[in-house]
Amino acid sequence: MSVPNEDKMASHAQLSSHFFGDLLDSIIVDVASECHRIARLGLDRNLEEEEEELKLSAQARERVADPNNSGEANSKYVVDIFGQTHPPIASDIFECMNCHRPIMAGRFAPHLEKCMGKGRKARLKGTRSSTAAQNRHSRGSPVSTYPPYPNSTSTNQLSNGTSGVAGEEYSNGTFPES
């Protein structure tokens, strides 16, 4: 019974090799097709640009080695290693998530201060009704003090007894000074 088994194993080995070859051929065709696609669509950016890159890198090296451009000379516009310049104030424009106005990125922090923070106008944003009273409070108590009434959650402006109204206005958390 050993001879037929050997035959079987030999034919198995042959079949296995054959199938393996099949799988491999399919994969080779896939790889070739993918490379062909990349070549024809020009998706391979490095192909002809290597010479250009060499030239650009040589230029950049010259610029760096040049004693005239020592970084501080171009005071406002510093050139970084990629040859890019950045304006001193970030100039991207986007929408403020609080007041929905278009704001320049470099001016965003001061804007936020006014929009939702320490600025006088910010506090007035939600309290049109008691504007006059708030004005009096803000001028009279610049230091944080304990409110005399236990039911108020925010502090500074509530020392004069209008705590009931003011507490409600700010309890939603827009007033960060607590």
Chain residues binding another protein by CB under 8 A are 12-13, 15-21, 23-36, 39-40, 42, 44, 47-48
Choose between 20 and 94: whose C-beta lies nearer to another protein: 20
Q: What DSSP assignment string belongs to 45-67? A: THHHHHHHHHHHHHHHHHHHH-T
Q: Distance (Å, rounded) from C-alpha 94 to C-alpha 108?
A: 9
CB neighbours (10 Å) of residue 157?
Answer: 28
Tell me whether residue 10 or residue 56 sits nearer to another protein (CB atom): 10
Tell the smallest beta-carbon distance from residue 91 to another protein (Å). 39
**Closer to another protein at the Cβ: 21 or 106?**
21
For residue 51, the minimal CB distance to another protein (Å) is: 11
Nearest approach, Cβ of residue 97 and another protein (Å): 43
